[in-house]
Amino acid sequence: MRIGRQTVKLDNPPVIIETSSIVGVKEGEGPLRSAFDKVLTDDTLGEKSWEKSESMLQKQTMLLALEKATLAQGDIDYILAGDLLNQCVGAHYSVRDFDIPFLGLYGACSTMTESMSIGSMLVGGGFANHVMCLTSSHFCSSEKQFRNPLEYGGQRTPSAQWTVTGAGCAILASKGSGPRITHVTTGKVIDKGVTDISNMGAAMAPAAIDTLLAHFNDTGIKPDEYDMIVTGDLGVIGSDILVELMMEEGFDIRENHRDCGKMIYDIEKQDVHAGGSGCGCCGSVFCGYIYRELKRHNLKKILVMATGALMNPMVVEQGESIPAVAHAVTIEN
Amino acid sequence: MRIGRQTVKLDNPPVIIETSSIVGVKEGEGPLRSAFDKVLTDDTLGEKSWEKSESMLQKQTMLLALEKATLAQGDIDYILAGDLLNQCVGAHYSVRDFDIPFLGLYGACSTMTESMSIGSMLVGGGFANHVMCLTSSHFCSSEKQFRNPLEYGGQRTPSAQWTVTGAGCAILASKGSGPRITHVTTGKVIDKGVTDISNMGAAMAPAAIDTLLAHFNDTGIKPDEYDMIVTGDLGVIGSDILVELMMEEGFDIRENHRDCGKMIYDIEKQDVHAGGSGCGCCGSVFCGYIYRELKRHNLKKILVMATGALMNPMVVEQGESIPAVAHAVTIEN
């Protein structure tokens, strides 16, 4: 049921029956290590290109989710997946080995909640019993594609974020036990003129604010009803902008705002500058740490909002700014 | 309601209340000229890069759809859009000027029916009253990104297809008059090992066959119940493969199969080799010619299946083959 310009309330809220998460070496050295299903010992995953490594990462994460949920491929009605790579090759080269109907998404780093948003409506609308929501990112494939190949050895600016090597997969179901997705707030594409390809946090914050305001206005939910309002990968700079500008709009989220990009690394010690980013940042932190805390009932009601900078380096070189989008889902135990 | 492994039957079939289509100069010289809303006189649309031209093309097509439907932006609950460009910049840089919730898709040339598939379920499930389904392609931006910049003057192989400069937008609604989407069959990602980036038809045909077989098996519909089974952009080569292999599978679609890539150009005279391709091929031909024929009741029941080659030139250079996907929707008057 639509309850506002951007929000749907699910009359039959789908259950997140299982998740899986796999992260890279560096992410496994961070504070959330114990919350991931698997930490890689080799970020190549034995593949000969970074694109193939990322694809293998998605594939292993998807297989792990099926195994943990004791479901077969034939039980899954749709895979909703995407990633940062051109033509989403991370997703396509992993799902081609699966016998499951596929709907490809591009939402940049917002993909985890974009897939959960559409997935919730497909399950909630009675069109599917089980949907897999899947995404990934890989530091090495992302640097190569969006900035410079690692071998170039470029200096990183202080506002730069570190793309998470990681993947997350969540299985939504029409029945079963677990936390449920009760509301879906879909973002608009917002562009406030940021042109710095090393400051994704600033590019994404306006989209996060826009969606968050829409969410509160549409639902009437107050910020303090949430145990956690978690953004995907605003990092240090984007988070500061979000919290400050939300305050100006009359919403105090200082107490309960968290950001996956700040949580996944020890920002001081791990030399990640403004924090983590990438589809796999929200993907792995939600499917790893946050889902675990929901299952342990340490969290009762949360808002998860992944944010995506829809950045194409060539178009930015043509003088364009970087649009962004943020999609939010309410999850309740 | 799910009626098979890959198919949903819509209990509340959404209505396609309006469409719009804009095509480039060459497409306007083809046999469908009179069926498009607008034919460009300048494929740059006054922009300084081909990417910006394509984005402007999407924007104008979207505005035209709103105008034809006499709807305001505030009436549209979701835009579902994507295109072939890296990070789907055609879509993002057009929708950033719109005040409408946005869900980004990547299905390569299958985007028109991918958006109509998801859109049908969002409307059919009661989550939206109006959804815009939008896609585009542009010959010049595509050649530059996937093969060679035009200035290079590369010779085209006989199996190459000509990317359509065009865009299509369809507005789905929960009520109103017009043809309705009654079934949605979602494809799997299929890869039969084709590695030739100048033979998209052969890369996509196996996905088309897979989805078409699933559609007939899931629904029990017979091929001759359809006035037209129209594929997106298999072109001459892919269409031949499809028809021949469907015959071997026991389904004779010789009489009613059409392909937008063969329809949009005069293949002999317009020097397009194996025919048209691109998201905008199915986009403009469906939203232009086919929708017009549905409105005129010259077509009663059709299957529209756009096909996408999920091709990333770099990964193909790494030795990979080209996966593909096809999504089908049944439309009934």
Q: Over the stretch A31-79, which tens digit does the pLDDT of each residue have? A: 999 999 999 999 999 999 999 999 999 999 999 999 999 999 999 999 9
As beta bridge partners, residue A229 has: A257, A303
Q: Can you read off the two tokens belonging to residue B170?
A: 């369809």
Nearest to A127 among B2, B107, B318 (CB): B2
Nearest to A323 among B93, B100, B105 (CB): B93
Residues A118, B103: C-beta atoms closer than 8 Å:
yes
Q: Distance, in angstroms, between B296 CA and closest chain A CA?
A: 31
User: Which amino acid is located at B130 in the chain?
Assistant: H
Q: Can you read off the two tokens belonging to residue A155?
A: 């200096």
Q: How wide is the angle at C-alpha A225 spanned by C-alphas A223 and A229, nearest 5°?
A: 55
pLDDT at position B312: 96
Distance CA A240, CA A183 (A): 25
Residue of A2, A102, A115 to mutate for B, most B C-beta atoms under 10 A? A102
Name the band, by pLDDT with cuts 50, 70 and 90, for residue B296.
very high
Residue-averaged pLDDT of chain B: 97
Average of pLDDT values for A225-232? 98
Name the band, by pLDDT with cuts 50, 70 and 90, for residue B47.
very high
Distance CA A281, CA A268 (A): 18
pLDDT at position B268: 92
Average of pLDDT values for B107-132? 98
pLDDT at position B228: 98
Name the band, by pLDDT with cuts 50, 70 and 90, for residue B291.
very high
DSSP class of residue A190 equals B
As beta bridge partners, residue A332 has: A180, A301
| R_g of chain A computed on alpha carbons | 18
Distance CA A121, CA A82 (A): 18
pLDDT at position B285: 98
CB of A189 less than 8 A from some CB of B: yes
Residues A189, B98: C-beta atoms closer than 8 Å:
yes
Percent share of chain A, pLDDT over 90:
99
pLDDT at position B288: 98
CB of B314 less than 8 A from some CB of A: yes
Class of A1-333 per CATH?
alpha beta
Average of pLDDT values for B273-295? 98
From chain B, the residues in CB contact with A124 under 8 A are: 125, 127
Provide the residue ranges of all domains of chain B, joining segments of one domain with +. Answer: 1-333
Percent share of chain B, pLDDT over 70:
100
Q: In terms of CA atoms, which chain A residue is nearest residue B79? A: A188
Distance CA B118, CA B124 (A): 10
Phi and psi of B238, rounded to 5°?
A: -65, -35
Q: Distance, in angstroms, between A30 CA and closest chain B CA?
A: 30
pLDDT at position B192: 97
Instruction: Give per-residue burial for A235-274: e unless 16+ CB within 10 Å, then b.
Output: bbbbbbbbbebbeeeebebeebbbbbbbbbbebeebebbb
Distance CA A278, CA A163 (A): 5
As beta bridge partners, residue A79 has: A102, A132
Distance CA A31, CA A42 (A): 19
From chain A, the residues in CB contact with B327 under 8 A are: 103
Instruction: Give per-residue burial for B91-128: e unless 16+ CB within 10 Å, then b.
Output: bbbbbbebebbbbbbbbbbbbbbbbbbbbbbbbbbbbb
Average of pLDDT values for A23-31? 98
Average of pLDDT values for B224-251? 98
Which residue bears the tokens 């309002």?
Answer: A229
Q: Distance, in angstroms, between B272 CA and closest chain A CA?
A: 25
Name the band, by pLDDT with cuts 50, 70 and 90, for residue B236.
very high
Scan residues 110-129 of A and list those with Cβ closer than 8 Å to B.
Answer: 114, 117-118, 121-122, 124-129
Distance CA B309, CA B220 (A): 27
Residues B105, A100: C-beta atoms closer than 8 Å:
no
The 3 state secondary structure assigned to chain B is CECCCCEEECCCCCEEEEEEEEECHHHHCCCCHHHCCEECCCCCCCCCCHHHHHHHHHHHHHHHHHHHHCCCHHHCCEEEEEECCHHHHHHHHHHCCCCCCEEEECCHHHHHHHHHHHHHHHHHCCCCCEEEEEEEECHHHHHHHHCCCHHHCCCCCCCCCEECCEEEEEEEECCCCCCEEEEEECCCCECCCCCCCCCHHHHHHHHHHHHHHHHHHHHCCCHHHCCEEEECCCHHHHHHHHHHHHHHCCCCCCCCEEEHHHHCCCCCCCCCCCCEECHHHHHHHHHHHHHHHHHCCCCCEEEEEEEEECCCHHHHHCCCCCCEEEEEEEEEC
As beta bridge partners, residue B262 has: none
pLDDT at position A177: 95
Name the band, by pLDDT with cuts 50, 70 and 90, for residue B209.
very high
Cβ-contact A262, A275 below 8 angstroms:
yes
Q: Distance, in angstroms, between A33 CA and closest chain B CA?
A: 31
pLDDT at position B93: 97
The contacts found for B49-53 with CB under 8 angstroms, 24 or more apart, are: B49/A315, B49/A318, B50/B138, B50/B140, B50/B141, B50/B144, B51/A312, B51/A314, B51/A315, B51/A318, B51/B85, B51/B89, B51/B90, B51/B93, B51/B141, B52/A315, B52/A318, B52/A320, B52/B93, B53/B138, B53/B140, B53/B141
Q: In terms of CA atoms, which chain A residue is nearest residue B144? A: A314
Q: In terms of CA atoms, which chain B residue is nearest residue A1? A: B127
Residues with Cβ < 8 Å from A155, sequence gap 6 or more?
A: none
Cβ-contact B164, B104 below 8 angstroms:
no
Strands (E), chain A: 7-9, 15-23, 38-39, 78-83, 102-104, 130-137, 162-163, 166-173, 180-185, 228-231, 257-259, 276-277, 301-309, 324-332
Lowest mean pLDDT among A95-104, A295-304, B146-155: B146-155
pLDDT at position A101: 98
